Amino acid sequence: MVKLAVFDCDGTLIDSQVNILRAMASSFERHGLVPPPDHATRRIVGLSLVESMQVLLPGADADLHHSLAQDYKHAFQRLRTDRSLDPEPLYDGIAETLDHLRDTGWLLGVATGKSDRGLALAHHGLTGHFVTLQTADRHPSKPHPAMLRAAMAEAGAAPAATVIIGDTVYDMAMGANAGVRAIGVDWGYHDGAELIEAGAIGVAMDAAALRRLIDG
């Protein structure tokens, strides 16, 4: 039986909080707008960019939402290539966890609200770990189950043998909508109680606990 573990990216695999906050502030300032508070930006991580802007600026029109999303993308790419800034590290134990899962028969995937261009797995030498990469370029925003359904189709995995790992309620709800197990991580953007309420079967406090939850 094919076993598939699908990971969210930001807040789950990669710690990109600083650049996310900087890019959001830049996109708003470019339009002469006051940037949202940091806590508000953290809350929307996991959504696709246009939907994020709709949440952060609900009274604006669609053109502004799309323009803010494009400016965010450009700012984020500039920040990522600025060698004077801190890089986006993997969370502790993630590389070892991915190796463990691959070595014990799991296929691995990614489901992220990022674009194809924004998904920086190659920077961490991780591209070869994943058999399926699902991004916002081809799917509706989480918690719609399209990303997980496409990942399962590409990997040949059934819902009963698939798990989604993420740090936000959007990841947990996407798992429920796709009929797969959902596991939360405590080191991302939403707290553990929220993840359990949204459908997580458990919340890992560290990478070792995550491996145990995935292995069941």
Top mean pLDDT of 76-80, 112-116, 177-181 is at: 177-181
For 21-61, write each residue's pLDDT tens digit: 999 999 999 999 999 998 899 889 889 999 999 999 999 99
Please give the backbone phi and psi of residue 154, each rounded to the nearest 5 degrees, phi first. -70, -35
Report d(CA 129, CA 182) in Å as an integer.
20
User: What stretches of 2-103 show up as alpha helix (H) in DSSP?
Assistant: 17-30, 38-44, 49-56, 62-81, 94-103
Counting other chains too, the contacts that 177-180 makes at CB distance below 8 Å and 24 or more residues apart are 177/143, 177/144, 177/145, 177/148, 178/145, 178/148, 178/149, 178/152, 179/145, 180/6, 180/148, 180/152
Mean pLDDT for 141-170 is 97
Whole-model pTM: value is 0.81
Report d(CA 144, CA 41) in Å as an integer.
20
For 102-152, write each residue's pLDDT tens digit: 999 999 999 999 888 777 777 778 888 999 999 999 999 999 999 999 999
Report d(CA 180, CA 173) in Å as an integer.
10
Domains of the chain: 3-15+89-215 (3.40.50.1000), 17-81 (1.10.150.240)
First to last CA, the chain: 15
Q: What is the pLDDT of residue 216?
A: 82
pLDDT of 179 higher than 80:
yes
Give me 113's structure tokens.
Answer: 């609200």
Q: Using CB atoms within 10 A of its CB, is residue 144 exposed (0-12), middle (13-18) or buried (19+)?
A: middle
Angle, vertex CA 191, rays to CA 34 and CA 104, nearest 5: 120
Q: Is 115:133 a contact under the CB 8 Å cutoff?
A: no
Nearest by Cα to 183 from 153, 216, 148: 216
